[in-house]
């Protein structure tokens, strides 16, 4: 009888602890949800401005589902998260910022790709990355600059100093070929989407 009472008592104590923990977690989520969303928006805004410094505003553009599917068919592990039109102070469109997410070595890499109306890549700006420190984490420093002012075309990754065409080839980070290919595939998907859907204005 005492064993039964003890089991019931322990079960009630465990239930109370679980209930309190659940309520506290819910409260923490509610308190931190808005600040986290705000920080994410700041990171996205900064990435947008980074690839289109001359833009005054960025207007949301609906992602064309069929166009995205066609662009992504050759690049598994890549998704198009959003598209924005870069607009200058006079209201003229300068080009587009395409935000992509690509599966890297450790986790998904999220970044923006800026492409001008003249089909030139302004650059890319990484928003989130969790690759290997000292290797894949060098993507912002090693890979991103290689896309600046390149024609919006398909790119391939080469390694070990085998670069023969700087216009269409990206030299991989030493020891981080998977990360290099992940970023390049995302850029290729963005370029394909731009050429198929956005080029000439939308």
Phi/psi of residue 20, nearest 5 degrees: -65, -45
* Residues 83-103: tens digit of each pLDDT: 999 999 999 999 999 999 999
Residue whose structure tokens are 């998977």: 178
Give the chain's end-to-end CA distance (angstroms, integer).
76
* Residues 149-198: tens digit of each pLDDT: 999 999 999 987 777 888 899 999 988 999 999 999 999 999 999 999 99
The b-or-e profile of 89-105 (16+ CB within 10 A means b, else e) is: eeeeebbbbbbbbbbbb
Residue whose structure tokens are 């997410």: 101
Q: Is the pLDDT of residue 121 over 90?
A: yes
Structure pTM? Answer: 0.77
């Amino acid at each position: 009888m005492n064993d039964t009472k003890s089991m019931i008592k322990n079960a009630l104590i465990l239930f109370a602890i679980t209930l309190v923990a659940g309520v506290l977690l819910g409260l923490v989520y509610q308190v931190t949800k808005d600040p986290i969303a705000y920080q994410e928006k700041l990171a996205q805004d900064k990435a947008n401005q980074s690839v289109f410094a001359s833009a005054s505003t960025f207007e949301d553009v609906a992602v064309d589902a069929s166009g995205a599917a066609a662009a992504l068919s050759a690049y598994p592990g890549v998704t198009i998260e959003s598209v924005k039109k870069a607009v200058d102070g006079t209201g003229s469109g300068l080009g587009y910022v395409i935000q992509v997410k690509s599966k890297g070595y450790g986790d998904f890499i999220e970044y923006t790709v800026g492409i001008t109306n003249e089909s030139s890549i302004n650059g890319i700006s990484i928003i989130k990355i969790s690759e290997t420190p000292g290797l894949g984490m060098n993507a912002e420093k090693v890979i991103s600059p290689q896309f600046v002012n390149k024609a919006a075309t398909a790119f391939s990754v080469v390694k070990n100093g085998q670069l023969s065409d700087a216009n269409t080839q990206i030299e991989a980070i030493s020891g981080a070929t998977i990360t290099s290919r992940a970023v390049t595939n995302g850029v290729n998907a963005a370029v394909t989407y731009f050429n198929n859907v956005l080029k000439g204005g939308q």
